[in-house]
Chain A
Amino acid sequence: MVQCVCFLQEGQIPDAVVATLRVGIADLVRTERLADDVEFAVIVVPEGQGWTAGAPSTTSVVSLTAPPMPQARRVILLHAICDLWILQTGCEAEDILATIMPAGQETVHAAVSV
């Protein structure tokens, strides 16, 4: 199972295009033989709740947690995700942040009392 979390800025991507993006991500995952299924969480960030560089954000964040893979394969998949976003949404390359993190590496540095 691959998990995919997407942050989309409200009003930026129509629902029909979001559906196309989900299909596109699932196709990439299957084509790359990472998994048969993708568990999606699409979070629409309301206007005024997403910021980049201290200004209202236009950035989509696509974060996959997948089985470990060679870096060369990861780069190919990251490019494919960005290309999919640019093709389907018409956004600029600067407006898509994609990550593929290996499952099981959820290291957190709790620093509550600093």
Chain B
Amino acid sequence: MPLYLCSTPADDLTREMRQRIATAITDVHCEATGAPRKFVHVVFFASAQAAMFDLLTPNGAPNGRCQLYGSIRSGRTDDIKERLVSGLRHAAAEILGFDRDDVVMSTRDVDAKWVMEGGELLPEPGEEAAWLKRHSG
């Protein structure tokens, strides 16, 4: 966690473009939140999987040429969420060659205590140091 879902009708998205977007999402998320990179997961959906994407994003993914939906740990401030949304829309639009308005995004808060990764509950935001020490290497 976070888990970012990315849906775009551009089925000819190259692997390089997907990697660039995944890296940009990781960069923006970690810069905005201070979270470790290893927490950041990104899954892409092609247009043939649009129905599945809609199912996974109830009330949360407005229409757009590119849709981003982030399940993030609860506790992020509104300022951090704004930086996430702004940064990710900008990065995705630049890589895809879209206008920024063509990239839409929403986030969903998920309590850290609801999530287990590495065999442990996720730490609360800002309390990752001890968790990472146990999971380094």
Known contacts A5-B56, A109-B106, A111-B85; is-contact A52 B40 (Cβ 8 Å)? yes
Is B121's CB under 8 angstroms from A54's CB? no
On whether the beta carbons of B43 and A106 are closer than 8 Å, the reply is: no
Q: How far is the CA of A62 from the CA of B14 in the complex (A)?
A: 27
Are A54 and B59 in contact, CB atoms less than 8 angstroms apart? no
Instruction: Give the size of the chain A interface in residues (CB under 8 angstroms).
Output: 39
B42 at interface (Cβ–Cβ under 8 A)?
Answer: yes
A-B contact count (CB 8 A): 121
Picked from A5, A49, A96, A106, the residue with its CB within 8 Å of the CB of B18 is: A49
In the complex, the answer to whether B115 meets A41 with C-beta atoms within 8 Å is: no
Provided the pairs A41-B55, A48-B18, A108-B108 are in contact, do residues A99 and B116 lie with their beta carbons within 8 angstroms?
A: yes
Q: In the assembly, what is the distance between CA of A96 and CA of B118, in Å?
A: 7
The answer to whether B1 and A99 have CB atoms under 8 Å apart is yes
A83-104 toward B: CB 8 Å interface, digit per residue (1/0)? 0000000000110111111100
Residues on the B chain within 8 Å of A75, using CB:
116, 121
Which of A52, A57, A109 meets B107, CB within 8 Å?
A109
Say yes or no: B105 contacts A112, CB within 8 Å: yes
Nearest-CB distance from B11 to chain A (Å)? 11
Q: Is A22 interfacial (CB-CB < 8 Å)?
A: no
Closest 3 A/B residue pairs (Cβ): A51-B22, A93-B119, A108-B60
